[in-house]
Chain A
Amino acid sequence: MRSGRDPCAFSRMDLFTRKKVQPTEPILIPHGELTFLTKQEILMAHKIFSELQDRENGPYSSRVSMEKIHTLPELKSNPFRKRICHVFSTSDMKDGSLSFEDFLDLLSAFSDSATLEIKSHYAFRIFDFDDDGTLDARDLEKLVNSLTGETDDTRLTGEEMRQLISNILEESDIDKDGTVNLSEFQHVISRSPDFVSSFKIVL
């Protein structure tokens, strides 16, 4: 029974953001309908994003480079930060830079109220290191390495790694093609009690 935003709310939103953020702000699109974020969160995201923007070359570049994004404390120590940027970036140069819309996409997928469906979809793409649409053994190995850290004393040995990956494939790979595809991944993830509560980033 929900309908679109009425024009009145539209203009009020613009007025609001104009007053609050910058007088010459371009019209903010109705992100409320498109994301899982509340108005406060969007405004907060905008503030953070424009701060990142300002530190780069002037306020007119619409994108923020991956390095800048990684200075956010929420992403600083995340082992998947590069993957996250790559997945959400719409840049043609494949450099992982984010526009504001991409940034909102990111926050929306990681927000509290996003559905399991969305979250597992993006999780799959983040874990798919070579972007080929399936998680094969090499992806899984990279994933394990990201999770155990880069230092030698926490890394698994080759034997352990082989064992682990074969166990994982044994559990999740239903069609036995040696890779985990999206539906298999979602099948596994949807039964996990912890996934939704831990796949979150808050500003």
Chain B
Amino acid sequence: MCLIVLFSNVLTTFSPYFQWIQKEEQKAGINRSLQLEEGKPSQQIASSSSDDNSEDESMSEGEMARLKEDVEEKKKLIATLRNKPWRMKRRLKCLKEAQAFVEKFEGALGKGKGRRLYAFKVMMTKKIIKFNRDFENFKTACIPWESRIKEVESHFGSSVASYFIFLRWMYGLNLVLFGFVFGLVVIPEVLMGMPYGSIARKTVPREEQDSAMDFSVLFEFGGYCKYSIMFYGYYNYQRSIGLLQFRLPLSYLLVGLGIFGYSLMVVIRTMARNANEGGDGAEDGAFTFCWKLFTSWDFLIGNPETADNKFASTTTSFKESIVDEQENLKDENIHLQRFLRVLANLLILCCLGGSGYLIYYVVKRSQEFAKKDRNELSWLQKNEVEIVMSLLGLVCPPLFEVIAELENYHPRIALKWQLGRIFALFLGNLYTFLFALFDEVNAKLENEKEIKNETIWALKEYYTNYTLYHNVTENIPPPNISPADVIRGPCWETEVGIEFVKLTVSDIQVTYLTILIGDFLRAVIVRFLNYCWCWDLEAGFPSYGEFDISGNVLGLIFNQGMIWMGAFYAPGLVGVNVLRLLSSMYYQCWAVMACNVPHERVFKASRSNNFYMGLLLLVLFLSLMPVVYSIMTLPPSFDCGPFSGQDQMYDVIMETIEKDLPPFMADIFSYASNPGLIMPAVLLMVLAIYYLNAVSKAYQNANMDLKRKMQMQRDEEKNRRNNKDSTNQVMKDLEDLLPNKSLIPPPSAEETEKPADQLSKSPKVTGKPGAAATGKGVHVQKDVSLAAANPRAPVTRPPGPRPPGPLPGNARGPPPGQGMGRGRGGPPPRR
């Protein structure tokens, strides 16, 4: 579709171009003939143009330039016309005039060959602009779910919509990651790698084969799932595969790290852009009331119920801020308050510790279960870890909210605490889970060593037997065992991958079930049982659910963290996540429209965007660490995955450098990895960071300084206007003496230009009476009046050098020559 649009654009670009050129040539021809007829070359331009000064020079360089300038100006006007708050009619008229002008004179510019070139250039710019506009239109049409989000926006205001926009952003990010993983790892392995069943790692072991297709096994990602493309273990260690000599292991490693690199880049770029858009964000306390009044209405609200809620919340916030203003310090029992807050924090710490211990305990127990026969275990025992983690995530946040009631914070602060605590809970749980997992991995590594030795022993035995039996020492065929019967190690990477996939899937299930039960079922019950119930269910206790923005966003962020961690060991996880986000978009959109009511508590979206991004960045970093640690330190399994047979995973890179790149590149790399070079580089970076930090601090200080200046100026302004005719005696005298009483320049000019103000303070005061007797600081004026007592009074002092002291503002004034030339207070040069 895109191609078609492009193609049609190209077509329409070229056909009118020829017409245009022809037209231009015709015009030029006419002009030339006119010239010939009249014999006076000077007049033809003047006759065709409506130049007011009609000079008798045609197309002189200056005129050309001016005309060009005019045309450019008109063009600029056309471009910025939409920024003018005029009526459509006036803008239309203006546009038509400007367009007519441009049309008329654009052709007249340029000469001979240059004219053609110019016409071509003009044509091309027009086409490019047109194309850009079409492309913009096309781009906006391509943004998915725009109408869906707008619908939500109009019902719930911009804050709920911000969640969906975040979800969409996340979907885009995951789609790119999915493209990386599938394009560079999964598809090559499927197309060019060895098929299923050819080697041990790609075959289900004999003892598992009976149950490999059972739903219960597949559901836990055992059986065929475990030995499929989804997990690390399936990939082969062949250095290059297929016709293209695709380096799969290398590509696997680079994609695994590239996922992090790309995500990091995107998150940081988005954060930077948000920070830029956020404006200065300065003077936080300065305009509380004004902002509440002028910007609190969300014009997107298109639902009467939301509007009512908004009315209520606006009223509350007005009342709150009035109360806050009236009694800034509430005189309550501060000791009780402190005690309660400490108590609440203690309780929450207990909760966090307890949940961490619970997870550790459960993971340990599951390792013991794993040693037993799977058939003896109940479903509960098999899925204990996931269930406990999901339940903790479900139960703890409301518990925190209840505990937070004790603290009696302002809602906004309480919300921040709440978010922080949920974050700590999730993070603690995730890391406990990871530590337990690492314990398991270490146990597996021990186990693996034994199996490896066994394998080697078995092979040796086979070879010895073969030699003894056939009496051959060379060209021994490898043992003829079916790949399903080969002794194999535990392959800890696949196990880790399975854990993460299971965790993600159970998270999806819990989220969806919570929405179905907590929101949908509740809404149904409230709606239909309301007809036959003792009290009003809709307004009373259960009522309808609210959309929990912060909880949902945090859930999304943690889910993403798990994807980042698990993606290296389970390439299929990214695909699962893309599906999840896609379905989540539709499902949650439906749920929020069908069964939620708008918020009572206002949670502004614009402020929190970067907060969420910051959390995402933190989670990204925290999920980066264990993966990089495991890549760098743990030895890969000897019989599964793309790195089998190597001591470390990153050996693939070394191998590539040695074998595939020219030798001088290897030299360069060996130099680059030399500690002697790395240390200075690190040092340089540290210094650069230090320098940038210092610079940013300096800017910050300058910023603060400017802000303070502005504040001071504003205060002064206020004072001056208030006290214009009462307190400042000196000024009053001065004012009486001055003929022109309109002392006050327009406020806008003063607000912006302080230097100008300072200028006007010094030499001009004396130069132009009444022009700028601004009351900036009493004693400046006093000094001025002392130095040049009265502008109208006769000059009594003899001419001499200008006294340096009395005019403090003069330091920044205009150059002395100019100032003195006009100033009467200084030495009058005319005398």
Binding site for B on A (CB under 8 A): 1-6, 8-9, 12, 29-30, 32-36, 38-40, 73-80, 90, 101-102, 104-105, 108-110, 115, 117-118, 121-123, 127, 140, 143-144, 147-149, 151, 154-156, 160, 163-164, 167-168, 171-172, 174-176, 183, 185, 187-195, 197-202
B102 touches A4 (CB 8 A): yes
Query: With A73-B302, A188-B290 known to touch, is A33 a contact of B95 (CB < 8 Å)?
Result: yes
Q: Which of B391-412 contact A (CB under 8 A)?
A: none
A202 touches B153 (CB 8 A): yes
B98 at the interface (CB under 8 A from A): yes
B318 touches A156 (CB 8 A): yes
| CB nearest neighbor in B for A173 | B718
Q: How far is it, in angstroms, between the C-alpha of A49 and the C-alpha of B673 when the chains are bound?
A: 68
B314 touches A147 (CB 8 A): yes
Chain A interface SS verdict (over half)? helix
Which residues of chain B are near A172, meaning CB under 8 Å? Answer: 287, 290
B289 touches A12 (CB 8 A): no
Which residues of chain A are near B299, meaning CB under 8 Å? Answer: 78, 80, 110, 198-201
1/0 per residue B652-688: CB within 8 Å of A?
0000000000000000000000000000000000000
Which residues of chain A are near B126, meaning CB under 8 Å? Answer: 3-4, 6
- Interface 9-mer from B273-281, B433-441, B467-475, B783-791: B273-281
A197 touches B88 (CB 8 A): no
Query: With A4-B102, A76-B304, A78-B299 known to touch, is A149 a contact of B315 (CB < 8 Å)?
Result: yes
Shortest beta-carbon distance from B460 to chain A in Å: 72
A115 touches B88 (CB 8 A): no
| CB nearest neighbor in A for B146 | A202
Query: With A147-B314, A202-B153 known to touch, is A34 a contact of B92 (CB < 8 Å)?
Result: yes
B605 touches A197 (CB 8 A): yes
B83 touches A115 (CB 8 A): yes
B319 touches A160 (CB 8 A): yes
B607 at the interface (CB under 8 A from A): yes
B539 at the interface (CB under 8 A from A): no
Query: With A33-B95, A188-B287 known to touch, is A163 a contact of B322 (CB < 8 Å)?
Result: yes
Which residues of chain B are near A4, meaning CB under 8 Å? Answer: 75, 78, 95, 98-99, 102-103, 126
B240 at the interface (CB under 8 A from A): no
Q: How far is it, in angstroms, between the C-alpha of A15 and the C-alpha of B125 when the chains are bound?
A: 23
11 of the cross-chain contacts (CB-CB < 8 Å) are A2-B75, A8-B12, A32-B133, A34-B92, A36-B82, A74-B302, A143-B293, A147-B315, A167-B325, A197-B605, A202-B300
1/0 per residue B59-99: CB within 8 Å of A?
00000000000000001101101110101110110010011
Q: How far is it, in angstroms, between the C-alpha of A35 and the C-alpha of B431 when the chains are bound?
A: 53
Chain B interface SS verdict (over half)? helix
Q: Which of B89, B150, B304 contacts A77 (CB 8 A)?
A: B304
Q: How far is it, in angstroms, between the C-alpha of A6 and the C-alpha of B91 when the chains are bound?
A: 18
Which residues of chain A are near B303, meaning CB under 8 Å? Answer: 73, 77
Which residues of chain B are near A194, meaning CB under 8 Å? Answer: 291, 295, 604, 606-607
Q: How far is it, in angstroms, between the C-alpha of A4 and the C-alpha of B74 when the chains are bound?
A: 9
Q: Which of B76, B78, B280, B605 contacts A33 (CB 8 A)?
A: B78
Q: Which of B89, B279, B606 contacts A90 (CB 8 A)?
A: B89
A171 touches B289 (CB 8 A): yes
B721 at the interface (CB under 8 A from A): yes
Query: With A38-B137, A193-B606 known to touch, is A33 a contact of B297 (CB < 8 Å)?
Result: no
Q: How far is it, in angstroms, between the C-alpha of A16 and the C-alpha of B53 when the chains are bound?
A: 43
B319 touches A149 (CB 8 A): no
| CB nearest neighbor in A for B130 | A9
Q: Which of B117-141 contact A (CB under 8 A)?
A: 122-123, 125-127, 129-130, 133, 136-137, 140-141
Shortest beta-carbon distance from B745 to chain A in Å: 12
Shortest beta-carbon distance from A71 to chain B in Å: 12
B722 at the interface (CB under 8 A from A): yes
- Chain B, interface size category, equals 35 or more
Q: Which 9 A-B pairs have the closest CB atoms?
A: A149-B311, A2-B79, A101-B88, A77-B307, A4-B99, A148-B315, A195-B295, A121-B85, A154-B315
Q: Which of B122-175 contact A (CB under 8 A)?
A: 122-123, 125-127, 129-130, 133, 136-137, 140-141, 150, 153-154, 158
Shortest beta-carbon distance from A105 to chain B in Å: 5
A192 touches B75 (CB 8 A): no
Q: How far is it, in angstroms, between the C-alpha of A167 and the C-alpha of B315 when the chains are bound?
A: 16
Q: How far is it, in angstroms, between the C-alpha of A149 and the C-alpha of B311 when the chains are bound?
A: 5
B485 at the interface (CB under 8 A from A): no
B111 at the interface (CB under 8 A from A): no
Q: Which of B75, B98, B127, B150 contacts A202 (CB 8 A)?
A: B150
B278 touches A193 (CB 8 A): yes
B374 at the interface (CB under 8 A from A): no
Q: How far is it, in angstroms, between the C-alpha of A188 and the C-alpha of B279 when the chains are bound?
A: 13
Which residues of chain B are near A122, meaning CB under 8 Å? Answer: 85
Query: With A147-B311, A148-B318 known to touch, is A78 a contact of B153 (CB < 8 Å)?
Result: no
Q: How far is it, in angstroms, between the C-alpha of A143 and the C-alpha of B322 when the chains are bound?
A: 17
Shortest beta-carbon distance from B326 to chain A in Å: 8
B298 at the interface (CB under 8 A from A): yes
B140 touches A38 (CB 8 A): yes
Q: How far is it, in angstroms, between the C-alpha of A156 and the C-alpha of B314 when the chains are bound?
A: 11
A74 touches B287 (CB 8 A): no
B281 touches A193 (CB 8 A): yes
Q: How far is it, in angstroms, between the C-alpha of A115 and the C-alpha of B84 when the chains are bound?
A: 10
A8 touches B16 (CB 8 A): yes
Shortest beta-carbon distance from A119 to chain B in Å: 10
Shortest beta-carbon distance from B577 to chain A in Å: 29
Which residues of chain A are near B129, meaning CB under 8 Å? Answer: 1-3
Q: Which of B708-732 contact A (CB under 8 A)?
A: 714, 717-718, 721-722
Q: Which of A38, A75, A144, A149 contacts B312 (CB 8 A)?
A: A149
Shortest beta-carbon distance from B27 to chain A in Å: 15
Q: How far is it, in angstroms, between the C-alpha of A144 and the C-alpha of B289 when the chains are bound?
A: 11
Query: With A34-B81, A34-B82, A183-B748 known to touch, is A167 a contact of B87 (CB < 8 Å)?
Result: no
Known: A193-B279, A193-B607. 20 other contacts (CB 8 A): A1-B79, A2-B76, A6-B123, A6-B130, A29-B92, A34-B82, A35-B82, A78-B297, A101-B92, A115-B83, A143-B293, A148-B314, A167-B322, A168-B290, A174-B751, A175-B717, A176-B718, A188-B291, A192-B291, A202-B154
Name the residue in B89, B290, B325, B604 with the highest tally of chain A Cβ atoms < 10 Å from its Cβ: B290
A201 touches B300 (CB 8 A): yes
Q: How far is it, in angstroms, between the C-alpha of A122 and the C-alpha of B289 when the chains are bound?
A: 20
Q: Which of A40, A104, A193 contacts B88 (CB 8 A)?
A: A104
A191 touches B311 (CB 8 A): no
Query: With A77-B301, A176-B718 known to touch, is A197 a contact of B293 (CB < 8 Å)?
Result: no
